[in-house]
Amino acid sequence: MTEIVGGPSLPQQRNLVTEIPGPASRAVLERKKTYVADGVGTTLPVFVTAAGGGVLLDADGNSLIDLGSGIAVTTVGNAAEKVVERAKAQLDAFTHTCFMVTPYDGYVDVCEALAELTPGDHPKKSALFNSGAEAVENAVKIARVHTGRDAVVVFDHAYHGRTNLTMAMTAKQMPYKHGFGPFAGEVYRAPMSYPLHDGGLSGAEAAARAIDVIEKQVGGDQVACVVIEPIQGEGGFIVPADGFLPAVAEWCRANGVVFVADEIQAGFCRTGDWFAVDHEGVVPDLVTTAKGIAGGLPLAAVTGHAEIMDAVHGGGLGGTYGGNPVACAAALGSIEEMRTHDLAARAREIGAIMQTRLDKLRADYDVIAEVRGRGAMMAIELCVPGTTQPDAARTAAVAAYCHSRGVVVLTCGTWGNVFRFLPPLSIGDDLLEEAFDVVAEAFAATA
Ligand code: PLZ
């Protein structure tokens, strides 16, 4: 096989040379069935050999348009120049020492960048981990030590991970929790602001409803932390009504509760700001980040008030690989790309293009109940026309059509009836428009 080089120099085109998946992918899929546990699913089983800009190249030579970024990870693109350059240089130098044994400066550099970039100008510190779930677990550990309290409050439709504590925090039972209990205790769920499904409660009203549940069912003085995604990801790209987040944050402040923003999916330029909470001027006590932070390498962080972070005893935080030097180098490359190319602005441009296309689709197809999102994190929710009854079947049919035509789309939502659009910010306008031509075709073909 000839060597295929990925990155931004890959031809930026949708080009199908076989059916999807083609014979080469189907052959690997057979081996997957033999050797990979059935519990590990795949949305679209084309086996990728190279990627960059806005395309994924598969084993059969098909070039697909990527509207998913590997679930909001390759914000700077796949194989972005600075990510590759810095990660390669780090690989040449050394792969691992364990920061807890003999440290290296890349880890400190990432923590310094996080202190600068995350909301608020108070003194901030960070700890680095491997996955989003691990960051969320550690945010809870830190909040518990700091407050001396146990209770954790999360919201309806929340997604925080698949480890035992984070499964307890995640709302959706199937597939994330089914049969995996018993779950960690002292996790309580409050109602979310979900304008399409809560009768359009204002942010203040939805916050009052949530706070009432917390005060009556948990007790403000028992709560260590409230953990919330500023725009919910897996749960359906739910954008809370304006004022909801500030009111919840204010209640936390008044009750000595640590306010944790889970920015794992929405953070790092995705929404058109560095962080989704920036839009509402909310300054969280702790922020969890992962995904977009390192251009595809596994890295996650908890960042927050130095005083809260330092509540934990020496040696209380860590892990063998947390803040791996190659992942840190990739994160510094990713942040460099975001700064140099002002990718937050690019996310707003991409968002404007998607908003126009999705508004037009909504006008044409009354199965689309709502267009929502911010920046390059947009969604449409499909409901039986004239109702708010979820239409998961139509959602699946539209997705299948897009996949067969070489456009990688992702669905989400408690009821599986939401399309989420998360293109890499390295995608070109033409390719993006073409992808939405295919999405429009898919609605027509499945009508
Ligand atoms: N918090 C807000 O979106 C990960 C999950 C995909 P990890 N979302 C994608 C799947 O089906 O497993 C996520 C998130 C938010 C936490 C996490 C967890 O991050 O890196 O997957 O552990």
Given a cut of 70, the residues of the chain with pLDDT beneath it are: 1-5
What integer pLDDT is reported at residue 9 of this predicted model? Answer: 84
Please give the CATH number for the structural domain made up of 23-75+343-445: 3.90.1150.10
Angle between helices 325-340 and 81-93 (to 10 degrees): 150
The Cβ-side half-sphere exposure at 175, using a 13 Å CA radius, reads 6
Sequence ranges of the chain with CATH classification 3.90.1150.10: 23-75+343-445
Query: How far is the centre of ligand 1, averaged over its atoms, from the C-alpha of 18 (Å)?
Result: 32
Beta-ladder partners of 255 = none
Query: How far is the centre of ligand 1, averaged over its atoms, from the C-alpha of 166 (Å)?
Result: 10
At 205, the amino acid letter reads E
Q: Identify which of 40, 43, 71, 418 to mutate to test ligand 1's pocket (most ligand atoms within 8 A of the CB).
A: 71
Q: Which atom of ligand 1 is nearest to the CA of 136?
A: 16
Token output for 212? 């009432």
What integer pLDDT is reported at residue 324 of this predicted model? Answer: 98
| 3.40.640.10, 1.10.3720.10, 3.40.50.720, 3.40.980.10: CATH of 82-340 | 3.40.640.10
Sequence ranges of the chain with CATH classification 3.40.640.10: 82-340
What integer pLDDT is reported at residue 4 of this predicted model? Answer: 61
Q: Is 71 in the pocket of ligand 1 (CB under 6 A)?
A: yes
Q: Is 264 in the pocket of ligand 1 (CB under 6 A)?
A: yes
What integer pLDDT is reported at residue 8 of this predicted model? Answer: 73
What integer pLDDT is reported at residue 3 of this predicted model? Answer: 59
Q: Is 265 in the pocket of ligand 1 (CB under 6 A)?
A: yes
